[in-house]
Amino acid sequence: MSPPTVAPLAPRGGAGESSVEIHLTARHCELGPDVRTFAKARLEKLNKYDARIHEVRVIVSQERKLHTAEITLRAHQQDVVITESHADARAAIELAADRLEDRVRRRKEKRVSAPRRGPRVNGTDGAEPGVEDVAADDEY
């Protein structure tokens, strides 16, 4: 029996190539091509905040006269789920995309502004033992 073959990954972020997989699903309603292109264009903008977004799933459902857009973003082995409702499907997607963009932006700012940790040496924090003790003894 031969080992399974693995196809090489295509380089991400090539010219004219989207690095995010966007899946659109319509339940109990129809999404026109203009709404689909709008949603894809709107969600591809999230790459400027995080280049390691794996996929985005958009589920638009309709109950009576209310459209509900649920956007699930998968990045860093975590899911971010945003749900918004509106009478218009495009407006529901726009509201959910705005909230998702805010959340992704806040996560990036938090990640970038976090202080860096020093090097770890054999389970310690890298500081030499006794250096602070000598300085404290000199003050007396």
Q: What is the pLDDT of residue 111?
A: 84
Residue 88 is classified by DSSP as S
Q: What is the pLDDT of residue 114?
A: 82
Tell whether the model's pLDDT for residue 31 goes beyond 80. Answer: yes
3-state secondary structure of 133: helix
- Is the pTM here over 0.85, yes or no? no
Q: Would you tell me which CATH number, out of the four given (3.40.50.1370, 3.40.980.10, 3.30.160.100, 3.40.50.2300), belongs to the domain 21-111?
A: 3.30.160.100
Residue spans of the domains in the chain: they are 21-111
How large is the greatest C-alpha to C-alpha distance in the chain, in angstroms?
80
Tell whether the model's pLDDT for residue 3 goes beyond 50. Answer: no
Q: CA-to-CA distance for 101 and 49, rounded, in angstroms?
A: 8
Q: What is the pLDDT of residue 26?
A: 95
Q: What is the pLDDT of residue 83?
A: 97
- 76-126 pLDDT, tens digit per residue, is 888 999 999 999 999 999 999 999 999 999 988 888 888 877 777 776 665
For residues 62-84, one letter each, b for 16 or more C-beta atoms within 10 angstroms of the residue's C-beta and e for the rest, the string is eeeeebbbbbbbebeeeebebeb
Q: What is the pLDDT of residue 139?
A: 57
